[in-house]
Amino acid sequence: MAEDGQPRMKTEECSEDSQVCYACCSLRAIRRAVLGLLLGCGVALAWAGATHCAKQSLGQFPAPFFMTWFCGAWNILLFPLYYLGHTLGAVEWQWPKAHFRQCSGFLVAEDMTVRRLLKGAAPFSVLLSLSGYLYLLALRRISAGDASAILCCSQAFVFLLSWIGLKDRFMGVRIVAVILSITGIVMMAYADGFHSDSITGVALGVSSALTTALYKVLFRKRVGEVQPGEASVLLSCVGLCSCVLHSWACVLLYLTHVEYWPPTQSIPWDTMCMMATLFLVFNVLVSLGSMIASPALISTGMLLSIPANTAVDFYVSAARPISQVRVSAACVIGAGYLLLLLPEGWDDSAFRWIDGLWRGGWQADSEVGDEAGADIGANAKHKTKPAGIAALT
């Protein structure tokens, strides 16, 4: 009896352990999903608040490049914030310089100096500053909701550039998403007519989305998959480039009276500081949120920023009534954005599942399962019967 009972106890213990592991994995997945949704809502609120502050600041102080430079300089704080969070959760403590050197290997392959860091981060800094500058120019001509919807099309441009430049896998669903994004852009431009001033704003928004896509594709080519440490180092170096290299552009625009303001004019520092803080919060949530939540759920924050910005335009800015064409365009762009968030191989799995369902594969599976259960029961009876006979004899 002891020999027969021991394996049974081990089997019961293994089954209990597997159930506990499955329950822990389920709870971990649920917690990660909830955190992703919360961070996505935070991304939407941060972007909507920053966009509203930017639009308000542009009305009082029409200097978009200076505002872009001011907000970009705040990105220097990204790596200190990341290092603080990493130190609180790390098992072994590491010096900030050593950890910075470890995360900045994609920028500087040799001895790390400030000059080499600036040289490696300069292309990223130019693209990010140009994207922000074009976005602020678009905000002067179109509403914040329209600008956010157009910026969501950057995901479609990322797929096209990655397919061409990085040789990513071709996916039919993402081609459909690209077509939907382009259709939404055309509808957005058609909302007020192709000869109105908003067509310029739509063109500037598309240029900002394309520049953002170039930044993301270049980051993937140099770094690979997005890692919190590398992203924080890159954004901190971008902020350093903004302070050191882009200051001359602000001075040049001021001297040429392209962005000129008299000395007596008051600069809205409070609104600009709020805008820079919210943009910094947005970058922290997007770049560092992947450590605790799913990046796909965090990316939904940009999609949620469309209704958030539209609500701010309607209730705070007293914007004009929303047209049905704009609502339809935003819905089309949102549908394309959601399709682009689907993982690779999703379409093949879905087509196989639909094909199996259409061919009645679920019935065959159930029949196979019943037959397997019957065979297992028969084998169990066949094995237990000789044991009983032997015991009686």
Per residue in 12-38, pLDDT (tens digit) is 444 555 555 545 566 777 777 778 788
CB neighbour class for 85 (10 Å; exposed up to 12, middle 13-18, buried from 19) = middle
Of residues 298 and 69, more confidence is placed in 69
Same domain, 199 and 108: yes
Same domain, 337 and 382: no
Per the document, the length of the chain is 393
Same domain, 253 and 366: no
In-domain check, residue 240: yes
What does the pLDDT read at residue 138? 92
Which of the four pLDDT bands, split at 50, 70 and 90, describes residue 53?
very high
Same domain, 211 and 270: yes
- As a dihedral over the C-alpha atoms of residue 110, residue 111, residue 113, residue 115, rounded to 10 degrees, the angle is -30
* Per-residue DSSP letter, 266: P
pLDDT of 93 > 80? The answer is no
For the record, the structure tokens of 196 come out as: 């109105």
Which of the four pLDDT bands, split at 50, 70 and 90, describes residue 319?
low
Decide if 44 contacts 117 (C-beta within 8 A): no
Whole-model pTM: value is 0.79
In-domain check, residue 341: yes
Closest CA to 63 of 200, 232, 245, 262: 262
Same domain, 235 and 178: yes
pLDDT of 221 > 90? The answer is no
Residue 308's identity, in one-letter code, is A
For the record, the structure tokens of 90 come out as: 């790390």
Of residues 101 and 155, more confidence is placed in 155
In-domain check, residue 223: yes
Closest CA to 56 of 67, 70, 46: 67
Closest CA to 230 of 124, 127, 354, 151: 124
Instruction: Share the mean pLDDT of the chain.
Output: 78
What is the spatial distance between Cα 185 and Cα 188, in angstroms, rounded to a whole number? 5
Per residue in 188-217, pLDDT (tens digit) is 887 766 666 788 888 999 999 999 999 989
In-domain check, residue 199: yes
pLDDT exceeding 70 applies to what percent of the chain? Answer: 77
Same domain, 381 and 338: no
Which of the four pLDDT bands, split at 50, 70 and 90, describes residue 263?
confident
| Residue 70 CB partners (closer than 8 Å, separation 6+) | 272, 276
- As a dihedral over the C-alpha atoms of residue 64, residue 137, residue 54, residue 128, rounded to 10 degrees, the angle is -70
pLDDT of 358 > 70? The answer is yes
Same domain, 307 and 391: no
DSSP, collapsed to helix, strand or coil, labels residue 224 as coil
What does the pLDDT read at residue 386? 36
What does the pLDDT read at residue 318? 57
In-domain check, residue 144: yes
Count of structural domains, the chain = 2
In-domain check, residue 3: no
For the record, the structure tokens of 93 come out as: 């403590």
In-domain check, residue 23: no
CB neighbours of residue 41 within 10 Å: 16
In-domain check, residue 51: yes
What is the spatial distance between Cα 121 and Cα 266, in angstroms, rounded to a whole number? 33
What does the pLDDT read at residue 297? 78
- Exposure class string for 294-305: b at 16+ Cβ within 10 A, else e: beebbbbbbbbb
Q: Note the helical H segments in the chain.
A: 2-60, 64-73, 78-89, 96-103, 114-139, 144-151, 154-165, 172-190, 198-222, 228-244, 247-255, 269-288, 295-315, 324-340, 346-358, 361-392
Same domain, 306 and 379: no
Same domain, 299 and 371: no
Q: Look at 144-153, 163-172, 358-367 and tell me which has the smallest mean pLDDT.
A: 358-367
Per residue in 282-303, pLDDT (tens digit) is 988 887 777 677 777 778 888 8
Same domain, 235 and 184: yes
Containing domain of residue 222, as a range? 29-345
What does the pLDDT read at residue 210? 94
Same domain, 300 and 182: yes
Query: Rounded to whole angstroms, what are the CA distances from 385 to 94, 243, 256, 329, 390?
Result: 65, 84, 99, 71, 9
pLDDT of 368 > 60? The answer is no
Average pLDDT of 82-103? 76
What does the pLDDT read at residue 338? 87
Same domain, 316 and 382: no
Of residues 26 and 50, more confidence is placed in 50
Per residue in 114-147, pLDDT (tens digit) is 777 888 888 899 999 999 999 999 998 888 888 9
What is the spatial distance between Cα 182 and Cα 294, in angstroms, rounded to a whole number? 27
Average pLDDT of 257-282? 88
